[in-house]
Structure 1
Amino acid sequence: MNDIPYRSALIIGAGPGISGSLTRLLRTAGIPVAIAARHIDKLTPLVEETGAIALAADASDASQVERLFAETDARIGAPELVIYNASGRVRGPIVELDPTEVEQAVAVSALGAFYAVQQAAKRMLPAGKGAILLTGATAGIKGFALSAPFAMGKFALRGLAQSAARELAPKGIHVAHIVIDGVVRGERADPSDSTLDPDAIAQSYIDLLRQHRSAWSWELEVRPWVEKF
């Protein structure tokens, strides 16, 4: 039985990890899904498996995000659920970082999220309904050495989520920020208890969508059960 209260979904920054797991769960529930990435060739196996629609877009480019939403409208209707998973990473000592690369990384993590939230809100506000989920990270809570650009982008993403939730929730739009506090299996780690299972993460996203509006969460934190914190 599908008790997810949304009829169409757009996932931006799609890949085989969390986005792949989310796509499978949503498609199993009978929800049409558009998945977007800069390079959609990598999405072919997921498209063939799930029947999702792959669309190309650079999330750091406002005009491309606007076009992405227009294409989604045409293919599956205005998305009632938008999930932003894109992020930019540049590592290194502050004195050695290339400012252009830093600008691009922050643009993907933060500005791209704003473009997506803006386009989503334009469609959801008239309907008085929708959900926007933004994928964060530990770096949005504390900045690590040699990872300033990632922290900058994720801190901005968290601020965007909090501000958007306060503005849009009273108008029927559920905005939530999910802190992924650890390494996701299949990205940079083996399947051990110290890593997060992308299927389990995706299930947490779905659980958020099922919340009654009288008890909406604006932020959720997930981490491996063996982690000390």
Structure 2
Amino acid sequence: MQKVALVVGAGDATGGAIARRFAREGYTACVTRRSADKLQPLVEQIRAAGGQAHGFASDARQEEEVVRLVERIESTLGPIEVLVFNIGANVPCSILDETARKYFKVWEMACLGGFLAGREAARRMVPRGRGTILFTGATASLRGGANFAAFAGAKHALRALAQSMARELGPRGIHVAHVVVDGAIDTAFIRDNFPERYALKDQDGIVNPEHIADSYWMLHCQPRDAWTHELDLRPWMEKF
């Protein structure tokens, strides 16, 4: 069986780039979204480049689905050596208009899903004494901006989860890291909704998903005497 990199939340930008990066290094890329149809272009792209990839429809908020997903991968494809949790759930809204339903949904997507995927991966990794678990954070992981109460609350909680897991699992051989992507990423969403920001692309003013993926690969390859827990990535012109 081959080594597996599981990317939960393999979208068209960051998640897809991470999956491609690990596939180029010989890992079987297992990628998930709620809709399997949306994964097919990524899977085909990886296979066309000579890599191995499998797409799975899975709702990261549903415990039973996450348990089944990890069991299926481990029993039929190979050991999950790397888990990347990359669900964003960035839905801005004024606190005056925010609903309890949407606030809870954002937390489910950005935090509960991370707990479920991280727990299941850890349960497999700990007996082997090795593995990497990487969580994608954001500017909202560090500060709560106006109109981002739900997103910031969920991302703060994901960061706390990553810290707790790192402190518990690091001594057991599992590298847990949290990556703060502090800046606009080169995505269709930024292109369509923030054209002025997207125009900075030619000046390296927005983050290239392929470069994010390079950092994830670097984190996985770090020797255990020099592990990074938190890494922040931002364009050179981004304020912080």
Provide TM-score, normalisation by structure 2.
0.90
1:59-70 correspondence runs (5 A): 59-70=60-71
Percentage of matched positions with identical amino acids: 41
**1:60–1:104 contact (8 Å) kept in structure 2:** no
The aligned residue for residue 215 of structure 1 is 226
For the pair 1:130 / 2:131, whether they are aligned, the reply is: yes
Structure 1 residue 141, shift from structure 2 partner: 0.2
Structure 2 counterpart of 1:177: 178
The aligned residue for residue 13 of structure 1 is 9
Consecutive unaligned residues in structure 2, runs of 5 or more: 48-52, 192-197
* Cα deviation, residue 45, structure 1: 1.0
Question: d(CA) in 1 for partners of 2:116 and 2:122?
Answer: 10
Alpha-carbon distance, 1:139 to partner: 0.2
**Is it true that 1:196 corresponds to 2:207 in the alignment?**
yes
1:31 and 2:42 aligned: no
For residues 183 and 116 of structure 2, what CA distance do their matches in structure 1 show?
Answer: 26
- Structure 1 distance, partners of 2:130, 2:105, is 32
Alpha carbons 1:38, 1:56 under 8 Å: kept: yes
Contact 1:85 1:134 in 2 (8 A): yes
Matched, 1:225 2:226: no
Q: What is the CA distance between 1:95 and its match in structure 2?
A: 2.3
Shift of 1:90: 2.9
Deviation at 1:171, TM superposition (A): 0.4
AA aligned to 1:98 is T
1:88/1:105 contact within 8 Å kept:
yes
Kindly indicate whether the alpha-carbon contact (under 8 Å) linking 1:182 and 1:223 is maintained by their aligned counterparts in 2. Answer: yes
Provide the alpha-carbon RMSD of the alignment: 1.3
Match of 1:73 in 2: 74
For residues 33-182 of structure 1, the aligned pairs below 5 Å read: 33-51=29-47, 52-182=53-183
Moved more, 192-201 or 159-168: 192-201
Moved over 6 A (4+): none
- Contact preservation (8 Å) 1:69, 1:78: no
SS in 2 for 1:95: coil
Q: Which deviates the most, 84-93 or 148-157?
A: 84-93
Other structure's SS at 2:80 match? coil
Distance in 1 between residues matched to 2:116 and 2:82, nearest whole Å: 15
C-alpha displacement at 1:156, in angstroms? 0.3
Q: Secondary structure at the match of 1:80?
A: strand
Distance 1:131 1:144 in 2: 30
Q: Structure 1 length as normaliser, TM-score?
A: 0.94
- Are the aligned partners of 1:158 and 1:177 in contact in 2 as well (CA < 8 Å)? yes
For the structure 1 residues 90 and 226, does the alpha-carbon distance in structure 2 shift closer, same or farther, using more than 3 Å as the test?
closer
- Provide, for residues 110-166 of structure 1, a one-character-per-residue CA deviation record: whole Å limited to 9, x for no partner: 111000111011000100000000000000101111111100110000000011001
